[in-house]
Amino acid sequence: MVTTPLLPPGLVAFVKRDCETCKLVDPLLGELAKDEPLTVYTQDDASFPESLAAIDDLALEMSWHHDIETVPTLIRVGADGIEEQRIVGWSRDQWQAFTGNIELGITLPEFRPGCGSLSVDPSRADKLNARMGGSGLETRRVEFAELEDDFEAMFDRGWSDGLPLVPPTEARVMRMLEGTTRAANDIVANVAPDLVDVTVEKIAVNALMAGCKPEYLPVVIAAVEAICTDEFNIHGLLATTMSVGPVFVVNGPIRKQLGMNSGINVFGQGNRANLTIGRAVQLVVRNVGGGRPGDVDRAAQGSPAKIGLAFPEDEEGTPWISLAEERGMGAGQNAITALCVEGPRLIVDQLSRTPESLTNTIAECLLTTHSKRMVAGIDALLVLSPEHMARYVDAGWDRARFRSELEDRLMIDTDEIIRGTGGIEEGLPADFAGMQLPKFRPGGLHIAHAGGPAGLFSSVFAGWVSGPTGSVPVTKPILP
Amino acid sequence: MTTVLDPTNEATPPEIERALRPESLAGLTVGLLDISKPRGNVFLDRVEERLTALGSSVKRYRKPTFAKPAPVDMRHEIATECDAVIEALAD
């Protein structure tokens, strides 16, 4: 609960030295003080104004409490301490009427606008709001010792994934929360493995540490919602010894608004939103869910997806519908799709000029994901590059045609992968002989489009145990 | 001095005492939980033989999928029906 300190009765002025209009009215303040009680609060220099003694408001507390946006501000306060009226800047007519002194400032110009109050200065306002406002944030506060380095202190407390974190001060977290219209105490999801309810506020703390901007927050919230579902099964992804994690594909106009990169080096470094959104989600899993490598996270080798992996689809570069649209979202809807994957793996074909030939190559590569002997067990995300996409668009293939042609080529003759064939002990039991099985379960192959304009290379992200017994991709709308 | 907001779940996990180790498994009911990984049954079949020889009675359980935690009802069933439990990983 914030208690507002009362102003003294009579006239009250707020001024700062770094304001020409305040300097202009300085002598008038001294003059007015002779006629009635006048209290002056000074924001930047205790020796200003010069015409009378002022109360030091260098901490800006009175300015903040009384919503001073402009200096000079002149306020008339009643005997009960209640504000009756205020004027801002300098207007001779206004000041004369306000004070009842028709001679006031007669030699001054008629009008001068005021200056911005320091209490609303963008570089101070967040800190001031946090200090004064009673932020309403419920998160426990942690004080670092004077001799601790802030960045080292966060490593020491085990909050980091191994990279430096942005210190989540109250002022920064409040600014982060401005990125969403949701209330800070809204519960977004229940995070495994510790099965803890996570609030918007806690996500904001972790998103801030990850390096997100406030406008990324709705994407991070939607991503957390997506992975904390029984279908997606983030607990399983963590606990498995297989080296998989979530990849997030962003669709909709928000990609452009956030400046995400769907082009050159789309899975690589260089773009803040691409890099920090996935990281923010992983920090939520680590810090809120308690999922840490060596504890519940048992991955044998790990994956970049466990650090943070998010990218936007290049929707403009293809006439095909987007991944989110194929998964039921409306056109133009901001959405995020979480899929469980290893890292990206290249598909190289620089010579195919027909869609049939290129599809053969892609199928050949997809058949070997994880092992040629893995059938109907994993999902995969195929990301076609623009130059590969052009083969299909030029030939008039739409997404459905491509999918159908590709799936036809993804059937496996089980005789080739029975245990012991080819000198390999891994494989299917002998009673699976003589069958044709699909590499991916129905609906288990996901297709997106991204990458730089040149390069006849696409990528596949192979998945993990697919379907209801493992992990099912989840798409969520990104809401403000 | 910097004050920051705690990014963790702020939870202090409750301390639960472990069940007492039995002196002997003879006469006790031992649950064998197969997490549904390949060849877990091979391991547990052999464990069952050894336990039966020791005079334990054995109850077998199987998780619906190794990729998700055991359902809470199954955990409760094991806790009420058994004196001890052995969980098989395998592969």
CATH number at residue A102: 3.40.30.10
Mean pLDDT of chain A: 94
Contact residues for A30 (Cβ-Cβ < 8 A; gap 6+):
A49, A51, A52
Mean pLDDT, residues B20-37: 91
Mean pLDDT, residues A459-464: 96
Is the pLDDT higher at A473 or at A120?
Answer: A473
Contact check, Cβ <8 Å, A144/B3 = yes
A305 and A194 part of one domain = yes
A252 and A308 part of one domain = yes
A-contacting residues in B 56-75 (Cβ below 8 Å): 64-65, 67-69
A204 and A235 part of one domain = yes
Contact check, Cβ <8 Å, B68/A144 = no
pTM for the whole thing? 0.78
Contacts of B64 in chain A (CB under 8 A): 469
A252 and A334 part of one domain = yes
The answer to whether ipTM exceeds 0.90 is no
Distance to chain A for B80, nearest Cα, Å: 24
Distance to chain A for B36, nearest Cα, Å: 11
Residue B15 belongs to some domain of the structure: no
Instruction: Output the pLDDT for position A151.
Output: 96
- If one counts every other C-beta atom within 10 angstroms of the C-beta of residue A173, the result is 25
A-contacting residues in B 6-65 (Cβ below 8 Å): 6-11, 64-65
Q: What is the pLDDT of residues A16-72, one digit of tens each?
A: 999 999 999 999 999 999 989 999 999 999 999 999 999 999 999 999 999 999 999
Contact check, Cβ <8 Å, A143/B67 = no
Contacts of A240 in chain B (CB under 8 A): 67
Write a three-state SS string for chain A: CCCCCCCCCEEEEEECCCCHHHHHHHHHHHHHHHHCCEEEEECCCCCCCCCCCCEECCCCHHHHHCCCCEECEEEEECCCCCEEEEEECEEHHHHHHHHCCCCCCCCCCCEECCEECHHHCHHHHHHHHHHHHCCCCCCCEEECCCCCCHHHHHHHCCCCCCCCCCCCEHHHHHHHHCCCCCCCCCEEEEECCCCEEEEHHHHHHHHHHHCCCHHHHHHHHHHHHHHCCCCCCHHHHHHCCCCCEEEEEEECCHHHHCCCCCCCCCCCCCCHHHHHHHHHHHHHHHHCCCCCECCCECCCCCCHHHCCCEEECCCCCCCCCCHHHHCCCCCCCCEEEEEEECCEEEEECCCCCCHHHHHHHHHHHHHCCCCCCCCCCEEEEEEECHHHHHHHHHCCCCHHHHHHHHHHCCEEEHHHHECCHHHCCCCECHHHCCCEEECCCCCCEEEEECCCCCCCEEEEEEEEEECCCCECCEEEECCC
Q: Total domain count for chain B?
A: 1
Instruction: Output the pLDDT for position A1.
Output: 44
| Residue span of the structural domain in which A114 resides | 10-133
A109 and A161 part of one domain = no
Is the pLDDT confidence value at A108 over 60?
A: yes
Residue A138 belongs to some domain of the structure: no
Mean pLDDT, residues A118-125: 86
From the candidates B8, B39, B72, which should be mutated to test the interface with A, based on the most A CB atoms within 10 A? B8
Q: What is the pLDDT of residues A417-438, one digit of tens each?
A: 999 999 999 999 999 999 999 9
Secondary element (H or E) of residue B14: none
A115 and A188 part of one domain = no
% chain A with pLDDT above 90: 89
Contacts of A194 in chain B (CB under 8 A): 9, 11
A94 and A161 part of one domain = no
Instruction: Output the pLDDT for position A127.
Output: 77
Instruction: Output the pLDDT for position A133.
Output: 66
Q: Total domain count for chain A?
A: 2
A123 and A193 part of one domain = no
Q: What is the pLDDT of residues A185-229, one digit of tens each?
A: 999 999 999 999 999 999 999 999 999 999 999 999 999 999 999
A60 and A183 part of one domain = no
Contact residues for A442 (Cβ-Cβ < 8 A; gap 6+):
none
A291 and A347 part of one domain = yes
A186 and A88 part of one domain = no
From the candidates A205, A281, A298, which should be mutated to test the interface with B, based on the most B CB atoms within 10 A? A205
Which band of pLDDT confidence, cut at 50, 70 and 90, is reported for residue A145?
confident
Contact check, Cβ <8 Å, B67/A465 = yes
Is the pLDDT confidence value at A92 over 70?
A: yes
Instruction: Output the pLDDT for position A134.
Output: 67
Is the pLDDT confidence value at A231 over 50?
A: yes
Question: Minimal Cα distance from B13: which residue of A?
Answer: A194
From the candidates B1, B5, B6, which should be mutated to test the interface with A, based on the most A CB atoms within 10 A? B5
What CA–CA distance (Å, rounded) separates A250 from A260? 9
Mean pLDDT, residues A243-264: 98
Contact check, Cβ <8 Å, B7/A287 = yes
Residue B51 belongs to some domain of the structure: yes
How far lies B35's CA from each of A14, A270, B43, B73, in Å? 72, 43, 12, 15
Instruction: Output the pLDDT for position A363.
Output: 98
Residue A363 belongs to some domain of the structure: yes
| Residue span of the structural domain in which B74 resides | 29-88
Question: Minimal Cα distance from B70: which residue of A?
Answer: A236
Which band of pLDDT confidence, cut at 50, 70 and 90, is reported for residue B62?
very high
Residue B40 belongs to some domain of the structure: yes
Cβ-in-10-Å burial (0-12, 13-18, 19+) of A247 comes to buried
A62 and A181 part of one domain = no
